[in-house]
Amino acid sequence: MSNPILQVENLTKRYGAVEAIRGVSFAVEEGEVFGLLGPNGAGKTSTVEILEGLRTLDGGRVSVCGLDPQRNPQELKREIGATLQATSLPDKMRVFEALKLFASFYERRRDPEELLKRFGLEEKRNAFYNQLSGGQKQRLALAMALVNDPRVLFFDEPTAGLDPQVRREIYGVIEELRREKKTIVLTTHYIEEAERLCDHVAIVDHGKVIAQGTPRELRQRSGDTTRIEVRLAKPGSVDKLKSLDGVTDCREVDSTFILHCQRPPQAIVALVKHLEAEGNELTSLEISTPSLEDVFIELTGRRLRD
């Protein structure tokens, strides 16, 4: 292993009686995209905001670019770029002005013109911030995160609240940064985002990392089997479904049965016969290959919801 550019060891944080982060550890290598995947309230934002030097930590150690965000916040800010949640710019600030203004705060900087072009904001250069659409605001936020040509980028829920088309547009932008070997830490609660964009993923829940690895490793970990998700007209039994021909495992989540199958065709035949014999019926059936969602379900018994 090379020397990680970012390290988190046993991080803890509490807000009053609430333990938001309960011993999180991970490391990010230079040039990779690292994803923190988890439901809302899992502690993702708190974690990245501690790394950005915006929040204090209660326990553990973090280091970003060899700097301690608590002790050297100003040095750290020169090395990082970020998009935040719940943030905004003054209504009457123009797009290009914003890029130029923020670029002026750094010694090392990128040409605002080039960023404008790259993020497809040329036409909007003189538009006021409050005239931009959600997607344009997010593209501007991404462009602004790059003004100082940072060594590490943090994108906190970069596509939350955007419609699918705009989301894909943002994916394109992040994928381009990934090709350039930028080091990126992103948080998300979208499976697709983590699988598509990240080299490494840490799945977080209730302030803890419950699994870590490449998306592929994580999927394999839950068995490389096909999933059949069924809803039944009448209540069914997990044990009976599990013993069907071709089914290796079964669990019930939110009254949906998820069957793991080595041989899907046999499993489906067996399932239909079984239901007929029981006088039960299928109300829906879906077949999918394993995803990080399954990993989450297996580890927590819950779905990772939007």
Partner 1 sequence: MKHFLTLTHSRISLTMRNKIFLFFTLLMPLGMFFLFAGVFGKGEPRMVAYLLGPVISLTVMGSFWGLSANLVMYREQGILRRFRLAPLTAADMLASSLAANFILTVPTVVIEVLLARWVYHVTQFGNLFAVVLLVSVATISFASLGLVVASVTNSMQETQVICQIVWFALLFFSGATFPLPTLPKIVQGFALFLPATYLVAGLQKAMLLGAKTWDPALEILVLAVWAVLAFFISTQLFRWEPEEKVTRNAKLWAVATVLPFLILGVWESKYGKLPAQSKSIYQSAFSSGKTAPEAKPADQAPR
Task: Name the site residues for partner 1 (rule: CB under 8 A).
Answer: 52, 54, 74, 77-78, 80-82, 84, 86-90, 92-93, 97, 101-102, 104-106, 128, 144
Shortest approach of partner 1 to residue 91 CB, angstroms?
8
**Phi then psi for 269, rounded to 5 degrees?**
-60, -45
Nearer Cβ to partner 1 (15/254) = 15
* Residue owning tokens 């974690």: 47
Count of alpha carbons within 13 angstroms of residue 72, beta-carbon side = 12
Shortest approach of partner 1 to residue 121 CB, angstroms?
17
Shortest approach of partner 1 to residue 51 CB, angstroms?
12
* Residue owning tokens 């979208």: 190
The two tokens of residue 54 are 């915006």
Shortest approach of partner 1 to residue 82 CB, angstroms?
6
Shortest approach of partner 1 to residue 296 CB, angstroms?
28
Shortest approach of partner 1 to residue 245 CB, angstroms?
55
Nearer Cβ to partner 1 (160/238) = 160
Nearer Cβ to partner 1 (99/211) = 99
Nearer Cβ to partner 1 (153/275) = 153
Q: Which CB contacts under 8 angstroms, 24+ apart, belong to 3-7?
A: 4/28, 4/29, 4/30, 5/29, 5/30, 5/64, 5/65, 5/151, 5/152, 5/183, 6/34, 6/51, 6/62, 6/63, 6/64, 6/65, 6/152, 6/183, 6/185, 7/61, 7/62, 7/63
Nearer Cβ to partner 1 (126/220) = 126
Nearer Cβ to partner 1 (144/204) = 144
Nearer Cβ to partner 1 (106/169) = 106
SS3 of residue 92 by DSSP: coil
> Is beta strand 152-156 parallel, antiparallel or unpaired with respect to 282-288?
unpaired
Residue 164 CA to its chain's centroid (Å): 15
SS3 of residue 69 by DSSP: coil
The two tokens of residue 257 are 């049965």
Shortest approach of partner 1 to residue 126 CB, angstroms?
12
SS3 of residue 267 by DSSP: helix
